[in-house]
Amino acid sequence: MLDWDDLRFFLAVARHGSLTAAAKELLVAQSTVGRRLASLEASLGVRLLNRTPDGYVPTLAGQDVQEKAERLEAEALTLERNVGGRDLRLAGLVRVTCAETLATQILTPCLATLHKQHPDIMIELIPNARELSLSMREADVSVRLKRSDQHDLVVRSIGSVAFGLYASPEYLKRSGEPDFEGGCPGQRLITHQDELRDASQMSWLTNLAPRARVSMHTSSHEAAVTAALHGAGLACLARFRADREEGLTRLAVPTPAPSAGIWLVVHRDNRETPRIRVVLTLIYDGVRRLGHQLNPSDAVTD
């Protein structure tokens, strides 16, 4: 008899192409994924996935099963959102995901006051560099620095983050002031493609200092801040974070770094759920109040 839960394991392997990645997504052991996949194939009496040098690839039968399983998954998620959205109580769990630095520096202070007015609402704050899926119910609310064009998401602009070029006094004493006109020869860069920066800031930095050498690359904004504090080089950092560090100096640059927009995102099926609306309003108001700190050029008067 078919165990419908086995389909979740099959879909994870089909999407990621590996047992390891599927196990990580499902928070189970790799052996469990393999066992559930074998159970599904035995129930259906057909091979669903072929193992290739590039990973697991669905067979023709597997493609058919994947298509039907994804339709079932979508229907189940829609049902769950619709039923959950009818909960009119100001109580329950609201999961909020965002970049780590936004979580610690911005959202935690905003959300920490929620219990005063709504003690029955519990917040689960999920700092994550990866954008969790609201459609797959990995989170209820997301604060992102990239606008989503997904048709089932409601997106609202709530501000922007300014960036600057920073270095420690110790580094500047050792390496000298950057020669921007000459392309910054002899300088070291800390590069990071992370949850706060996108390609526009990276392009700005490489154009600003084409003759500098990369001393460190990281996927974490906090790691880049720490590296700059310890004199590893010049770093493009969010001003709301780096300006708080006495051990960092913001350098005058010929052209300012591009800012990044802040977007508040919710699934359209959940936007009217009372407890989620309360959290959306709290985040919106809190971030708007901090607008001048996130980006000094943002003057919020309303």
pTM of this structure = 0.68
The per-residue DSSP string of 15-70 comes to HHSSHHHHHHHHTS-HHHHHHHHHHHHHHHTS--EEEETTEEEE-HHHHHHHHHHH
- Condensed to tens digits (0 to 9), the pLDDT of residues 56-80 reads 999 999 999 999 888 888 887 777 6
pLDDT tens per residue across span 267-292: 988 888 899 999 999 999 999 888 88
| Best CA proximity match to 95, nearest among 135, 155, 141 | 141
* pLDDT at residue number 302: 39
Which residue among 84, 108, 130 closes a domain? 84
Residue 302 and residue 282: Cα distance in Å, rounded? 15
Residue 132: the pLDDT is 84
| Other Cβ atoms within 10 Å of 300 Cβ, number | 12
Last residue of one domain, picked from the residues 84, 114, 139:
84
Enclosing domain of residue 34: 6-84
Mean pLDDT by 10 residues, the chain (302 residues): 81 92 85 91 92 92 90 77 62 91 88 90 87 85 87 91 96 97 96 69 91 92 95 96 96 94 91 91 91 72 39
Query: Within this chain, do residues 50 and 192 fall inside the same structural domain, yes or no?
Result: no
Residue 301, domain member (yes or no): no
Output the pLDDT for position 136: 81
User: Is 272 a domain residue?
Assistant: yes
Shared domain check, 245 and 171: yes
Residue 263 three-state SS: strand
Q: Are both 141 and 168 inside the same structural domain?
A: no
Count of domains for the chain: 3
Nearest to 63 by CA among 14, 7, 121, 132: 14
Question: What is the model's pLDDT at position 300?
Answer: 43
Residues 185 and 61 in one domain: no
